């Protein structure tokens, strides 16, 4: 059976740049403080309040379609990984599919926070391997600025907006999806969450007054858990597939925080030059970080390159996967 493989990539970030110097004027922070704790210098923000996450997803999808001369009517499924859907009810993916001309596709959203795109890759692979579907469009997109409190310096310095997309098809060679190792634990879900808007705390005047519709995180708890678990699952993928610093070409980690990435690579003993990063330019775009890395570094990849992905997100959710580059 041919492996499922990535055969195309697209991406989009908004034009507006929110720099660290801009944030210095908004909250009690400094450029040095932000860089030392996150590695972020700037992030992109979709300023227009009439343009939601679907706008980012559509832009990324159309970029992929145009680059690859793809007929959208051949797409079988559209998955949008996001924590900032246009509406709580009415799948953003269905709207995206309609707007890009994927008339024959079914579509749904996937919510696993910063692990969403990684989990979505596994889903896309499974659909391809079933033999019933030929082209799966997976998009990771988040308008994080819509759920950030720009008076909270702990979170407003971290997040940005963006979208990325990949196309999965059957591989035309022996390269593609090789292995995956995913985990989750809901016991500490309160450490990284948007409290209001769900069935536990429906939106109310109280929730609005208390800012419960904005993202909240316990930084120390998240940092400790992320470093421990991202390292663990990545090490497992290395062991199971006889990978090491010599034969891996690139580590593609979720761009949560440069300190988390640095701590992870120290524990798995991989050279810095093999670790892909763009967090300094975009910040944490949640479900969009991994596809935006692929978008930015696509020209570097060669046929047969060994890529290992890793991510950690709210829930908690985390995982790692191994893919060989198919073009």
CATH number at residue 278: 3.40.47.10
Residue 43: the pLDDT is 98
Which residue is listed with tokens 């990545």?
234
Are 204 and 229 part of one and the same domain? yes
Domains in the chain: how many in total?
Answer: 2
Q: What are phi and psi of 322, to 5 degrees?
A: -130, 130
Mean pLDDT of all residues belonging to the chain:
96
Are 161 and 196 part of one and the same domain? no
Q: Which residues contact 90 (CB under 8 A, 6 or more apart)?
A: none
- Active site (catalytic) residues: 114, 254, 284
Please state, for a pLDDT cut of 90, what percent of the chain lies above it.
Answer: 94
Q: Which of 170, 188, 206 is the last residue of a domain?
A: 170
CB 64 within 8 A of CB 9: yes
Are 52 and 135 part of one and the same domain? yes
Which is nearest to 253 in space by CA: 269, 237, 234? Answer: 234
Are 34 and 142 part of one and the same domain? yes
Are 27 and 145 part of one and the same domain? yes
- Full-model pTM: 0.96
Range of the domain at 26: 4-170
Residue 219: the pLDDT is 85
Are 187 and 206 part of one and the same domain? yes
Are 81 and 195 part of one and the same domain? no
Residue 268: the pLDDT is 87
Are 190 and 152 part of one and the same domain? no
CB 64 within 8 A of CB 167: yes
pLDDT confidence band for 167 (50 / 70 / 90): very high
Of 138-152, 153-167, 256-270, which range is least confident? 256-270
> In whole angstroms, what is the distance from residue 229 CA to residue 282 CA?
24
pLDDT of 29-64, one tens digit each?
999 999 999 999 999 999 999 999 999 999 999 999
Angle at 285 between CA 133 and CA 165, to 5 degrees: 25
Residue 100: the pLDDT is 98
> In whole angstroms, what is the distance from residue 81 CA to residue 221 CA?
24
Are 43 and 98 part of one and the same domain? yes
Q: Which of 135, 170, 205 is the last residue of a domain?
A: 170
Residue 129: the pLDDT is 97
Q: Which of 139, 170, 201 is the last residue of a domain?
A: 170
Distances (CA, A) of 290 to 49, 282, 298: 25, 12, 12
pLDDT of 179-237, one tens digit each?
999 999 999 999 999 999 999 999 999 999 999 999 999 988 999 999 999 999 999 99
Are 241 and 272 part of one and the same domain? yes
Q: What are phi and psi of 240, to 5 degrees?
A: -65, -25
Are 110 and 205 part of one and the same domain? no
pLDDT confidence band for 267 (50 / 70 / 90): confident
Are 293 and 196 part of one and the same domain? yes
pLDDT of 276-304, one tens digit each?
999 999 999 999 999 999 999 999 999 99
């Amino acid at each position: 059976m041919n492996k499922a493989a990535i055969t195309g990539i697209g991406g989009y970030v908004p034009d507006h740049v929110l720099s660290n110097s801009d944030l210095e004027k908004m909250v009690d922070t400094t450029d040095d403080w932000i860089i030392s704790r996150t590695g972020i210098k700037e992030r992109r923000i979709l300023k227009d309040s009439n343009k939601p996450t679907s706008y980012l997803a559509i832009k990324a999808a159309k970029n992929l379609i145009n680059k690859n001369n793809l007929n959208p009517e051949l797409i079988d499924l559209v998955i949008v990984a996001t924590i900032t859907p246009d509406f709580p009810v009415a799948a953003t993916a269905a709207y995206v599919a309609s707007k890009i001309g994927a008339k024959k596709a079914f579509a749904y959203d996937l919510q696993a926070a910063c692990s969403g795109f990684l989990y979505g890759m596994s889903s896309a692979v499974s659909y391809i391997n079933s033999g019933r579907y030929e082209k799966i469009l997976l998009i990771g997109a988040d308008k994080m600025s819509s759920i950030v409190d720009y008076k909270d310096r702990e979170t407003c310095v971290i997040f940005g907006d963006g979208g990325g997309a990949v196309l999965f098809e059957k591989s035309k060679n022996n390269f593609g999806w090789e292995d995956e190792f995913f985990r989750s634990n809901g016991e500490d879900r309160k450490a990284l969450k948007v409290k209001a808007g769900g069935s536990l705390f429906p939106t109310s005047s109280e929730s609005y007054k208390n800012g419960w519709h904005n993202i909240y995180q316990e930084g120390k708890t998240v940092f400790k858990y992320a470093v421990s678990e991202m390292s663990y699952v990545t090490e497992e993928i290395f062991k199971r597939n006889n990978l090491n610093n010599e034969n891996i070409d690139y580590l593609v980690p979720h761009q949560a925080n440069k300190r988390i990435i640095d701590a992870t690579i120290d524990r798995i003993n991989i050279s810095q030059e093999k670790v892909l990063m763009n967090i300094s330019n975009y910040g944490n775009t949640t479900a969009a970080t991994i596809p935006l890395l692929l978008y930015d570094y696509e020209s570097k990849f060669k046929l047969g390159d060994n890529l290992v992905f890793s991510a950690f997100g709210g829930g908690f959710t985390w995982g790692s996967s191994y893919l060989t580059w198919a073009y």
